[in-house]
Amino acid sequence: GLYPRMYLAPNGRVFNSSPSTVTRYLNTAGTGSWTAVANRSVNIYRDYDSSVMYEDGKVLVVGGGDPPTNTAEVIDLNAATPAWRAVAPMAFARRQLNATLLPDGKVLVTGGTSGPGFNNTNTPVFAAEMWDPATETWATMASQQFPRLYHSGAVLLPDARVLTIGGDQVPQTEVYEPPYLFKGARPTINSA
């Protein structure tokens, strides 16, 4: 929602990736201080968006806004002068969505609403989308059975599946099995 999306940056500061159009570092030393990092490439207030740090110092921000947007942008905090850069948009505009970093480095986006307003229950997005950081493109994946809007969540499970839960008055849970689970025998740990 309006909650800041915060990540530990390579320089030891805390990076505020959204929802504001101006992103900042928080220096936690002493009483703390804020410094501007970069303005977004997409000039919208990304409330109720989602983001992930998909590699050390590299952040992807997707969706949010009212009306919802399908836009996505990345920033590399390892650069001498970090700057936001637009990447390919999602197939669906989404607000109240969830983004989950997968073990293969791809990002799974689930849920959300494509309609205007705070939590438009008339326009749920059921199809999942997968972002590949190597190509910076999206693929539409399997659809969920239940709307995942406000107060929903997604979490990577220890077995590399993704659990999606909640949304106001949605008690059902669903589990997504990413394509990597179907590429042959699972690895085993012989010793540790």
Per-residue pLDDT tens digits for 19-30: 999 999 999 999
3-state secondary structure of 127: strand
Buried b (16+ CB within 10 A) or exposed e, 125-156: beebbbbebeeeebeebeebebbbbbebebee
What predicted TM-score, i.e. pTM, was given to this entire model?
A: 0.93
pLDDT at 151: 94
Closest CA to 40 of 65, 19, 63, 13: 19
Inform me whether the pLDDT recorded for 1 exceeds 60. Answer: no
Over pLDDT 90: what percentage of the chain? 93
Tell me what pLDDT residue 123 has.
98
Model confidence band, residue 2 (pLDDT cutoffs 50, 70, 90): low
Mean pLDDT calculated for residue range 106-116: 98
DSSP 113: B
Q: Measured between alpha carbons, how far is 68 from 58 in angstroms, rounded to an integer? A: 23
Query: Maximum distance among all alpha carbons in the chain?
Result: 53
**Contacts with 116 (C-beta within 8 Å, 6 or more apart), sequence order:** 66, 67, 68
